[in-house]
């Protein structure tokens, strides 16, 4: 039926050949120019599972200010220069970094202001003393405790740093406020960075490094902006003296490095593919017009991109890149048709059209399985790929033969034939060897593992990772932290929610550390309540008693009459500020890390160690508290990998089932179907076993590549089965060999790729296609002869 | 014409005055650096130092002045010991970045990492500089003045951008008659408090008593 249909359509189009060509040319030109209007979406989220929790985590990371930072670690290269030289250079360097690319530079705390800042904070403390803490303070106003504190103060005044400590004794003789400063200090140190301060700079403990934290408006995902920013920073670094080295720590570098590496890898692949095309044109096809076979998939993808964008809007650039490669598979059908033309003109094309269509439907079936994915990008991929295949096959079957019809050159082609008389190619030997190898690889495939690490997608250069290692060695902060986020529309709402979250986390985590700003910055309402309680307690109960005790006990150590006047002067001076700018400056140092303002509201962030036990506890809290969620790199990695793995597993089942069903339906013969599936089954086990033998773990890119291999191998199987059954004599073996060769070369080139994703795709393609081709070329004919047609 | 002459005269006088002033400043700076270098070079020959001291603190916190007596030990490059005998036995021993602190009242040894205690770090660093004569490194933080030339008396006034600016009004260092070592250091604070160190029985480049580096006297 397919043969008749092909003839009918072909003849109809041939009658209107000029019109058809004009129409195709018009579509092509229209698609080419419309391409500039096709909207693209670079958002990686399109490629991730549609999971509410996961989407929220990504949204948080995108909106928060974690990703707009560039950290610079300036260090001394030699021992001849000192930290003073480094400080001078850093100061000048800071002046050179200017907007618009660098909006703000955080370099450290000015020591000369720290005492004023601490004193300002001590005045604020009554607002954060909770009810329970106030009772503890009350219980400490005893002669014994006051005596102890004043003795400690006296001893401090004998010590070398008495000049710094005097202010604390005057302003907080009972030590009731200083513990809150300690909490501030702990919050500042909670991320685990090791730094000291000198002249307003973060200095490493070895006095050899200075850290600068730059805030930039450039998003990590904006590759053009990131390039501008990094080039700008490099230009400033180039002006530094030779004895200074600068390590840049930034997500922008990863974006650029990945982009550069992928570009280089693609250039390598394109070069190899072009070389292959040249070899095919010169050695096999010996005709410039054969170039059309390779141009058609490109035209098809161009048209299908336009059609897809008309149907669903913006296209993912990842998907377009991937689909363009996959659509290249259709070149295999072109090769079959071209060789059939040469073998016997339209008659042979007519004959080959049937297996071509079976191949097309099964391959489309593989890619159609992506329609069942919950990942939007995969659905787009299914549509784009299938459209490309349909358009390509239309051109190959109905336009290409017409172009060759008038000038059938009848150029002799290379012929290949694996003779069965050769003992090496004896059918039983072939099948036996195949079964042994397949058995071995089936055994090894049981040991194959799946990697959960999404870092496999990061192919940044080694130098970037080395700089990050150096940074963590110097500054610490390499520990992994999870974040629990409270989210609300207003600052006060988020602070209130954060208070409750902090209480629950502290209770649930027991001894495990959790850093939360609530203890030093609760909501305004809570601060007002605290302040009322503080004032009431001191006015009604403690002020008089404390004055008396300080006087009595102070006399023993010779304290003057007005020694603690500053404490009593400031006792009721605290007031809840309406304006954030009137709040203690010390709070600003931690607010930036614990509170985030976004266009959609406010986030309050708690930090804790990214351990499974703590994540479980936090998840229980999160389930009970609306407006809270957890960001854990480990958890995210696990859930992405798990979702992607489940997704690919589901798609594999669907694709597998579709292939079998479609092959049975199209071949209408169980035995032939089983033969056609031999390359598919073999290649899958060879890949699984091969990965296991090579010590590689399977990952999402390699799993997707397996589906592509399956799509190609079923074609090889179908063509070889048809060739065996119908004696096509349309150059099928040569076509399968050429198709496999082009794909193997393309895949093998990826083995040279630096980017891990491309590398794993390369390994999968090389193993899968090579094994699939070998069994298609040798095992299917052998099995056919042994099983279906023993007498030939 | 007359007006032009007056303007010319004013400009000339201004330039001349500027030239004289800058020449004077340069001369002063050169003299100062020369003297500081000389002091540093003399004191750089000191590898070990032991001296008794009397520290008188006049603090508004106390009714009377605090008189502290003790000994100081210095061994280059980075060992420093501060013993107080009166009014309360206390010892502070600094080796590299670790400070050990003991007092007879608690009889406990407290270890402080200077990297984690900036105030202690700044004070020990400053104290080491004052007693070891490393004054050239202070020119970025203080305005230095030679108040008296024989014996040398130096006055250090913190510059506005320095850490000490808000706390210290001035520091005056007086050298002994033979200018081999410091006789006294007077620190005047911005809040009116003051501290005077008087150094007595100073011995330079002598073998130090190993007991000086023991944090507990009984050890």
pLDDT digits (tens, 9 = 90+) for B44-83: 888 898 999 999 999 999 999 999 999 999 888 778 899 9
B2-213 maps to CATH 2.50.20.10: yes
> Taking Cα atoms as reference points, which of A355, A471, A481, A278 lies closest to residue A6?
A355
Per-residue pLDDT, averaged over A631-655, amounts to 78
For the stretch A531-550, what's the b/e string if a residue is b when 16 or more beta carbons lie within 10 angstroms of its beta carbon?
Answer: beebeebbeeebbeebeebb
pLDDT for residue A472 = 87
d(CA A560, nearest CA chain B) in Å: 4
The reply to whether residue B164 touches residue A115, judged by beta carbons under 8 angstroms, is no
**Chain B residues in contact with A84 (beta carbon < 8 A):** 137, 140
pLDDT for residue A418 = 54
Which of the given ranges, A153-162, A501-510, A625-634, has the highest pLDDT on average? A501-510
Per-residue pLDDT, averaged over A549-558, amounts to 94
Lowest average pLDDT, out of A266-280, A316-330, A398-412, A635-649, goes to: A398-412
The reply to whether residue A160 touches residue B167, judged by beta carbons under 8 angstroms, is no
pLDDT for residue A36 = 81
pLDDT for residue B20 = 41
% of chain A surpassing 70 pLDDT: 89
β-strands A315-316, A40-41: how paired? Answer: parallel
| B6 pLDDT higher than 60 | no
Per-residue pLDDT, averaged over A304-309, amounts to 89
Q: What is the mean pLDDT of chain A?
A: 84
Categorize the per-residue pLDDT at B27 as very low, low, confident or very high, splitting at 50, 70 and 90.
Answer: very low
d(CA B49, nearest CA chain A) in Å: 18
Lowest average pLDDT, out of A1-15, B15-29, B90-104, goes to: B15-29
What is the torsion angle, in degrees rounded to the nearest 10, for the CA atoms of residue A258, residue A263, residue A267 and residue A269?
Answer: 50
Which of the given ranges, A222-226, A370-374, A538-542, has the highest pLDDT on average? A538-542
The reply to whether residue A158 touches residue B193, judged by beta carbons under 8 angstroms, is no
d(CA B139, nearest CA chain A) in Å: 12
Question: How far does CA A494 lie from the centroid of its chain?
Answer: 29
pLDDT for residue A417 = 57
The reply to whether residue B115 touches residue A151, judged by beta carbons under 8 angstroms, is no
Categorize the per-residue pLDDT at B17 as very low, low, confident or very high, splitting at 50, 70 and 90.
Answer: very low
Lowest average pLDDT, out of A117-121, A450-454, B4-8, goes to: B4-8
> Taking Cα atoms as reference points, which of A709, A714, A649 lies closest to residue A684?
A709
Of B115, B120, B167, the CB nearest to A205: B115
% of chain B surpassing 70 pLDDT: 84
The reply to whether residue A558 touches residue B84, judged by beta carbons under 8 angstroms, is no
Token readout for A733 is 């073996």
Per-residue pLDDT, averaged over A12-24, amounts to 78
Asked if residue B87 has a cis previous peptide bond (ω within 30° of 0), the answer is: yes
| A698 pLDDT higher than 90 | no
Which of the given ranges, A361-365, A405-409, A486-490, A511-515, has the highest pLDDT on average? A486-490
The reply to whether residue A559 touches residue B63, judged by beta carbons under 8 angstroms, is yes
The reply to whether residue B167 touches residue A115, judged by beta carbons under 8 angstroms, is yes
Q: Which long-range contacts (CB under 8 A, 24 or more apart) does B61-64 make?
A: B61/A157, B61/A166, B61/A169, B61/A170, B61/A559, B61/A560, B61/A563, B61/B193, B62/A157, B62/A557, B62/A558, B62/A559, B62/A560, B62/A563, B63/A558, B63/A559, B63/A560, B63/A561, B64/A558
The reply to whether residue B82 touches residue A160, judged by beta carbons under 8 angstroms, is yes
How close are the terminal C-alpha atoms of chain A, in Å?
Answer: 27
> Which residue ranges make up each domain of chain B?
2-213
d(CA B62, nearest CA chain A) in Å: 4
| A560 pLDDT higher than 90 | yes
Token readout for A105 is 């530079």
> A155 to chain B: nearest residue by CA?
B88
User: Residues of B near A (CB-CB distance < 8 A)?
Assistant: 57, 59-64, 66, 68, 82, 84, 87-88, 90, 92, 97, 101, 103, 105, 115, 118-124, 127, 137, 140, 161-168, 187, 189, 193
| A792 pLDDT higher than 70 | no
Categorize the per-residue pLDDT at B19 as very low, low, confident or very high, splitting at 50, 70 and 90.
Answer: very low
| A9 pLDDT higher than 80 | no
Categorize the per-residue pLDDT at A633 as very low, low, confident or very high, splitting at 50, 70 and 90.
Answer: confident
| A413 pLDDT higher than 60 | no
Rounded distance, CA A227 to CA A233, Å? 10
Give the count of Cβ contacts less than 8 A between chain A and B: 86
d(CA A71, nearest CA chain B) in Å: 22
Per-residue pLDDT, averaged over B165-182, amounts to 88
Nearby residues of A549 by Cβ (< 8 Å), 6 or more positions away: A141, A142, A143, A146
**Chain B residues in contact with A561 (beta carbon < 8 A):** 63
pLDDT for residue B1 = 44
Rounded distance, CA A521 to CA A128, Å? 7
A534 or B165, higher pLDDT: A534
Rounded distance, CA A444 to CA A446, Å? 5
% of chain B surpassing 90 pLDDT: 29
Rounded distance, CA A308 to CA A377, Å? 12
Q: Is A241 helix (H, G, I), strand (E, B) or coil?
A: coil
Tell me the domains of chain A and their CATH numbers: 1-37+287-413 (no CATH), 421-459+633-792 (1.20.1640.10)
% of chain A surpassing 90 pLDDT: 29
């Amino acid at each position: 039926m397919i043969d008749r249909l092909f003839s009918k359509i072909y003849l109809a189009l041939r009658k209107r050949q000029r019109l058809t060509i004009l129409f195709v040319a018009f579509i092509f030109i229209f698609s080419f120019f419309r391409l500039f209007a096709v909207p693209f979406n670079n958002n990686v989220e399109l490629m991730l599972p549609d999971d509410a929790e996961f989407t929220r985590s990504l949204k948080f990371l995108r909106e928060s200010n974690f990703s707009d930072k560039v950290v610079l670690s300036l260090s001394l290269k030699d021992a001849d220069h000192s930290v003073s030289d480094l400080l001078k250079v850093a100061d000048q360097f800071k002046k050179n970094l200017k907007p618009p690319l660098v909006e703000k530079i955080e370099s450290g705390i000015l020591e000369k202001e720290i005492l004023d800042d601490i004193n300002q904070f001590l005045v604020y403390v009554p607002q954060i003393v909770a009810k329970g803490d106030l009772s503890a303070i009350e219980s400490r106003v005893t002669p014994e405790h006051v005596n102890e504190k004043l003795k400690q103060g006296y001893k401090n005044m004998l010590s070398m740093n008495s000049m710094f400590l005097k202010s604390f004794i005057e302003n907080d003789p009972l030590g009731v406020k200083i513990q809150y400063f300690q909490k501030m200090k702990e919050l500042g140190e909670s991320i685990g960075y090791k730094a000291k301060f000198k002249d307003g700079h973060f200095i490493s403990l070895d006095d050899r490094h200075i850290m600068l934290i730059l805030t930039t408006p450039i998003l990590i995902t904006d590759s053009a902006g990131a390039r501008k920013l990094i080039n700008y920073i490099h230009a400033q670094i180039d002006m530094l003296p030779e004895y200074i080295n600068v390590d840049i720590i930034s997500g922008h570098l990863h974006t650029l490095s990945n982009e550069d590496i992928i570009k280089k890898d693609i250039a390598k692949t394109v070069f190899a593919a072009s070389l292959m095309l040249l070899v095919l044109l010169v050695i096999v096809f010996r005709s410039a017009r054969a170039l059309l076979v390779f141009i058609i998939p490109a035209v098809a993808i161009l048209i299908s991109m336009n059609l897809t964008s008309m149907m669903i809007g913006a296209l993912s650039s990842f998907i377009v890149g991937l689909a363009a490669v996959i659509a290249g598979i259709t070149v295999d059908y072109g090769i079959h048709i071209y060789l059939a033309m040469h073998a016997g003109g339209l008659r042979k094309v007519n004959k080959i059209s049937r297996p071509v269509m079976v191949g097309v439907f099964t391959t489309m079936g593989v890619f159609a399985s992506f329609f069942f994915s919950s990942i939007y990008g995969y659905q787009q991929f299914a549509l784009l790929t299938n459209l490309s295949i349909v358009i390509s096959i239309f051109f190959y079957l109905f336009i290409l033969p017409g172009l060759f019809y008038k000038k059938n050159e009848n150029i002799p082609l290379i012929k290949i034939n694996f003779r069965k008389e050769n003992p090496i190619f004896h059918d039983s030997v072939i099948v036996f060897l195949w079964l042994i190898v397949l058995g071995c690889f089936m055994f090894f495939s049981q040991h194959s593992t799946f990697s959960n690490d999404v870092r496999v997608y990061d192919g940044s250069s080694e130098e970037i990772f080395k700089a990050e290692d150096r940074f963590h060695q110097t500054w610490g902060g390499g520990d992994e932290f999870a974040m629990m986020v409270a989210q609300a529309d207003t600052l006060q709402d988020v602070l209130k929610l954060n208070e409750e979250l902090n209480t629950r986390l502290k209770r649930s985590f027991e001894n495990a550390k959790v850093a939360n700003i609530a203890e030093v910055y609760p909501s305004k309402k809570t601060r007002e309540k605290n302040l009322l309680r503080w004032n009431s307690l001191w006015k009604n109960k403690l002020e008089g008693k404390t004055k008396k005790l300080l006087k009595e006990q102070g006399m023993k150590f010779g304290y003057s009459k007005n020694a603690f006047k500053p404490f009593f002067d400031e006792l009721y001076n605290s007031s809840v500020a309406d304006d954030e700018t009137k709040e203690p400056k010390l709070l600003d140092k931690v607010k930036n890390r614990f509170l985030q303002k976004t266009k959609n509201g406010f986030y309050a962030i708690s930090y804790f160690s990214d351990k499974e036990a703590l994540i479980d506890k936090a998840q229980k809290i999160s389930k009970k508290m609306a407006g809270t969620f957890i960001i854990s790199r480990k958890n995210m990695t696990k859930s992405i990998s798990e979702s992607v793995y489940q997704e690919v597993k589901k798609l594999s089942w669907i694709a597998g089932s579709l292939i079998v069903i479609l092959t049975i339906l199209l071949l209408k013969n169980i035995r032939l179907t089983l033969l056609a599936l031999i390359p598919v089954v073999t290649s899958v086990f060879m890949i699984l076993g091969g990965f296991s033998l090579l010590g590689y773990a399977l990952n999402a890119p390699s799993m997707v590549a397996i589906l592509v291999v399956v799509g190609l191998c079923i074609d090889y199987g179908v063509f070889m089965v048809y060739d065996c059954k119908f004696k096509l004599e349309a150059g099928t073996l040569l076509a399968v060999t050429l198709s496999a060769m082009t794909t193997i070369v393309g895949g093998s080139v990826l083995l040279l790729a630096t980017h891990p994703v491309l590398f794993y795709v390369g390994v999968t393609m090389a193993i899968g296609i090579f094994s699939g081709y070998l069994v298609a070329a040798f095992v299917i004919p052998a099995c056919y002869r042994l099983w279906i047609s023993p007498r030939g | 014409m007359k007006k032009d002459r007056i303007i010319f005269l004013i400009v000339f006088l201004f330039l001349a005055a500027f030239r004289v002033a800058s020449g004077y400043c340069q001369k002063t700076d050169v003299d100062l650096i020369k003297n500081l270098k000389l002091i540093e070079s003399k004191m750089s020959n000191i590898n070990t130092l032991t001296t008794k001291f009397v520290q008188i603190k006049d603090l508004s916190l106390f009714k009377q002045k605090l008189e502290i007596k003790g000994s100081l030990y210095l061994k280059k490059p980075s060992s420093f010991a501060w013993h107080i005998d009166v009014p309360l036995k206390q010892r502070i021993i600094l080796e590299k970045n670790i400070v050990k602190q003991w007092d007879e009242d608690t009889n406990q040894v407290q270890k402080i990492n200077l990297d984690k205690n900036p105030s202690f770090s700044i004070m020990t660093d400053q104290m080491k500089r004052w007693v070891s004569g490393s004054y050239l490194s202070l020119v970025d933080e203080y305005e230095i003045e030679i108040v008296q030339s024989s014996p040398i008396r130096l006055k250090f006034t913190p510059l506005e951008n320095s850490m000490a600016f808000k706390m210290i009004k001035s520091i005056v260092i007086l050298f002994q008659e033979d200018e081999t070592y410091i006789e006294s250091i007077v620190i005047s604070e911005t809040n009116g408090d003051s501290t005077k160190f008087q150094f007595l029985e100073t011995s330079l480049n002598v073998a130090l008593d190993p007991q000086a580096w023991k944090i507990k006297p009984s050890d």
